Structure 1
């Protein structure tokens, strides 16, 4: 005997198989709805459409944690900018102090240069006198040496005259 397939019975079996697979899929997702609960498109989201409370809680937690993270990032960035601002102010103050000191040193140097220019003729005179004193000292040493030689000759001549 040949068996005849009943098309109605096949459709029922397919639908039961689909329901079992959907139930299995829903139990894995934990969603009361069949299929995905959220679409990647925001236009298909219905505010009044019931959705998975677990997924909603997780999304809220994610948004809260992301908000906290971004807040902390902004806070730390703001703190970094405040620190940089403080460092810049300190640097400006230090450079202002250094500028004042360098201006004072420049004024002192200019004053010393002017005094040196005024003293230059006197210093040149002192150098000339020092050269003259050095030459005079050398002449005095030569004269002293010559005097000693003369004295020795005089003593030699005196000895010679007494011995004769």
Structure 2
């Protein structure tokens, strides 16, 4: 409310200095003297109104009206912008909801496929363990065979030396 009073006073002062007014000076009232009186009302019964003061008051009310209309219009435009932003945001959230639903569906499908493959993966893991054990046994067998082959060669050399 205080800002409205200050705005009205500012508009009144501006209208006083407005170049569109017929005169830039404030004339005296025919009965009362200068128009800028300390009274709070310019209307007194049975007294003619000061035309200059009436013109200034009309100008003040017109400017105040324009100011208030502009304020209301800007507030309305702000609300319209917010409504647009809310609409766009709602659309984006709906899109993200649909994408999340698709991702959830795909993750559930992958989980079900993984659960179906789990027994096969267990068999593969067990086979890999068995293969590792077989590989270790094959290395042991290979080293044992090499030792036997060396012994055989030594024995064969002894046998051929004893025959000859």
Task: Answer whether TM exceeds 0.5 for this pair.
Answer: yes
Q: Which residue of the partner structure matches residue 106 of structure 1? A: 104
* Greater C-alpha radius of gyration: 1
Unmatched runs of 5 consecutive residues or more in structure 2: 1-25
Q: Which residue of the partner structure matches residue 118 of structure 1? A: 116
CA distance in 1, matches of 2:155, 2:31: 149
Deviations 1:63-93 (A, max 9, x none): 1111111111111111110110000001111
CA distance in 1, matches of 2:60, 2:33: 22
**Aligned-pair distance for 1:108?**
1.3
- TM score, norm. by length of structure 1: 0.71
- Higher RCO, 1 vs 2 (CA within 8 Å, ≥6 residues apart): 2
CA distance in 1, matches of 2:112, 2:86: 38
SS in structure 1 at match of 2:48: coil
What's the Cα RMSD here? 2.5
Number of aligned residues: 136
- TM score, norm. by length of structure 2: 0.71
**Aligned-pair distance for 1:152?**
2.2
